[in-house]
Amino acid sequence: MLPWTLRSAAGRLASATRAAAAAPASVAARSSATATARPRADDDCEEPRPRAAVQEHVFWPDGQRLATLRRQHRTKASRDHSVLTRQLLDFQHDTVSEPDGDYDPLGQLKARFMDFKQRNYVENSTKYQNLAEQQTPEFMVVACADSRVCPTSILGLQPGDAFTVRNIANLVPPYEHGASETTAALEFAVNTLKVPNVLVVGHSRCGGIQALMSMKNKKDDSSSRSFIRDWVSLGKSARLSTEAAAGNLNFESQCRHCEKESINSSLLNLLTYPWIEERVKEGSLNLHAGYYNFIDCTFEKWTLVYRPGLEGGSKYAIKNRSTWS
């Protein structure tokens, strides 16, 4: 009996012979001509493809050929990414000159970074080396993406003080909403970093809240996709509460009311997360709200109390409300 390797080789030879016999004569002739073609000299363009490669191209089934083309495309994309990565790794800082004379949108950022490095990093190197090893923030902050509302600036937060996520209208989706950048940040901050405080910061003249309050006046067009509309619709309960409490006021006043109503809605949504509710009940996590009015530069803050059996039969109450002005 033939050894396994020889039997395998013999089988492959027999298969190739049967495939060649079944192929059209024109194809067989082209294959034969390719196999016997005279190799070109080095200066005759490219070298001829090996015979095996030609036969594979001729006799592959269409599905297998398509799969091969897809693999080749993925390989090319991978090579393209590798080229970019290699360029970054090989980049020499002194080989590219800074723009001279033309407006450079990153110029001021560079100056600010260098100032930060000198005034903060260098002068507090021990602190930043400790931060490089671990972070133990006091706060998890959910704030709006509005460029006028930077919690780091208005609250004087320093690196390591707060784990922060910013989104349109500073909304916290309910637990059943599923994965998002906000819910992922909450999970990491509460379960991994063990932050003792979550702070939701809203603000005046919020464009996201204006979009939310405008939805009631616009016919829903399901044929057009709006990521903003889909996102702010999470605050629908705050809009309905606003309409019930302030529906007789003008649009601007309703928005102002809803800006605070949506903060409370987000606080209640936080308690739909089992691991947040558990920590709040045991007293290891506090839920806070803040409202920044950049028109007159005031900051209003309050804390949510969650405890079954509160006076009046409710589980929720507000405490420590004050305005910083």
Considering the domain delimited by 135-324, tell me its CATH architecture: 3-Layer(aba) Sandwich (3.40)
Does the annotation place 57 within a ligand binding site?
A: no
Q: Write the secondary structure of 246-312 as one string of H (helix), E (strand) and C (coil).
A: HCCCCHHHHHHHHHHHHHHHHHHHHCCCHHHHHHHHHCCCEEEEEEEECCCCEEEEEEEEECCCCCC
pLDDT digits (tens, 9 = 90+) for 46-74: 444 444 444 444 444 566 666 666 676 66
**C-alpha to C-alpha distances, 38 to 33, 35, 73, nearest whole angstrom:** 10, 9, 32
Does 206 appear as a known binding residue? yes
Over residues 222-246, mean pLDDT: 90
Of 128 and 42, the structure prediction assigns the larger pLDDT to: 128
Specify the DSSP element, H or E, that contains 140: strand 139-144
Give the confidence band of 84 by pLDDT, cuts at 50, 70, 90: low
Please indicate if the annotation marks 144 as binding a ligand.
yes
**Integer Cα distance of 262 and 239 in angstroms:** 8
Length of the chain: 325
Report, in angstroms and rounded to the nearest whole number, the Rg of the chain calculated over CA atoms.
Answer: 33
d(C-alpha 316, C-alpha 174), whole Å = 17
Burial annotation 190-215 (CB, 10 A radius, 16+ → b, else e): beeeebbbbbbbbbbbbebbbbbbee
Q: What are phi and psi of 141, to 5 degrees?
A: -115, 130
pLDDT class of 225 with cuts at 50, 70, 90:
confident
289 DSSP β-pair partners = 200, 302
The span from the CA of 57 to the CA of 270, in Å, is 59
Q: Is 45 annotated as a binding residue?
A: no
Please state the pTM of the whole predicted model: 0.69
| Element (DSSP H or E) covering residue 321 | strand 316-324
Alpha carbon distance 170, 173 (integer Å): 10
For the chain, the domains span 135-324
For the record, the structure tokens of 208 come out as 């996201």
Is the pLDDT confidence value at 249 over 80?
yes
Identity of residue 286: N
* CA 214 – CA 148 distance, rounded (Å): 22
